[in-house]
Amino acid sequence: MNSVVFARTAFLPSPACGRGAGGEGTATRIVNDCRDRYYSTVSTQEPSVVVNEVYASIQGESSYAGLPCVFVRLTGCNLRCIYCDTEYAFYDGERRTVTNVADQVRGLGIALVEITGGEPLLQKDCVVLAQRLLNSGLTVLIETSGALAIDTLPPGVIRIMDIKCPSSSESGKMDWSNIDHLTSRDEVKFVIGNRDDYEWARQVIKQHDLPRKCSILISTVFGSVPPKDVAGWMLEDKLPARFQLQMHKYIWDPKDRGV
């Protein structure tokens, strides 16, 4: 295996890598350029991914919260959200074959697995990994920002799309065409940092008729807006969404990794 520490020039911070800033065609070309540079340091004949960490924990979010889950965190992200709690995954990782990663996941003996990041869809063989895990009979979740096309994923994957609210500083990178590819098995998440974020999320939910497409999750930026405030707003509006907390940050220290 090859250990890889990504050079800080290999991935330009947004908006250079992402959709939306320069129109659909331009943005797609930029993302592809970034992928080419991302893969320039190491090559292998087998499908491979650069992995930051693999660990078993309790699923802290989504409608699967509370269940034992294996997390596969891939390296690299094209966004720079102000409140990001996984900056350590931006650059550091180890190149591993898809076979090797899938074997490790199966060896942990847990039926639920989430592929996350960073932004896992930046790595083309993330799709191969997802299919390999599905073929093993596992329930596969993938958490993605929605800034990259989600229709490349195998149909059996449960896509949890984190639509970035304005306080993240990255809401402009959303590829809104992804909403057309959501199914009833998928979930959309809004992380609320203030009242303006909530109002924005409420408008997006209404404008895109999200309750008819998928499940909706509302959570808070940890340590920012009080959860009871957001829960109160949801009750006032009878918002058709599931309120959630990042359960793992209440079980373990919020700064702990691998939990």
Q: How many domains does the chain have?
A: 1
Cα–Cα distance, 154 to 38 (Å, whole number): 23
| Residue 163 phi, psi (nearest 5) | -75, 115
> Which residues partner with 219 through β-bridges?
191
Question: Is residue 256 included in any domain, yes or no?
Answer: no
Taking CA atoms, 229 is separated from 162, 190, 192, 236, in Å, by: 21, 15, 11, 11
Confirm whether 207 is domain-assigned: yes
Q: What is the pTM of this model?
A: 0.82
In a domain, 17, yes or no: yes
DSSP letter for each residue of 230-241: HHHHHHHHT-SS
pLDDT digits (tens, 9 = 90+) for 143-153: 999 999 999 99
Whether 89 is covered by a domain: the verdict is yes
- Domain assignment of residue 179, yes or no: yes
pLDDT of amino acid 41: 42
Note whether residue 158 is domain-resident.
yes
Q: Domain of 112: which CATH number? A: 3.20.20.70
**Host domain of residue 11:** 2-251
Considering the domain boundaries, does residue 258 fall inside one?
no
Strand partners, 218: 190, 243
Position 125 pLDDT exceeds 50: yes
Q: Is residue 123 part of a domain?
A: yes
User: Average pLDDT in the 227-239 region?
Assistant: 97
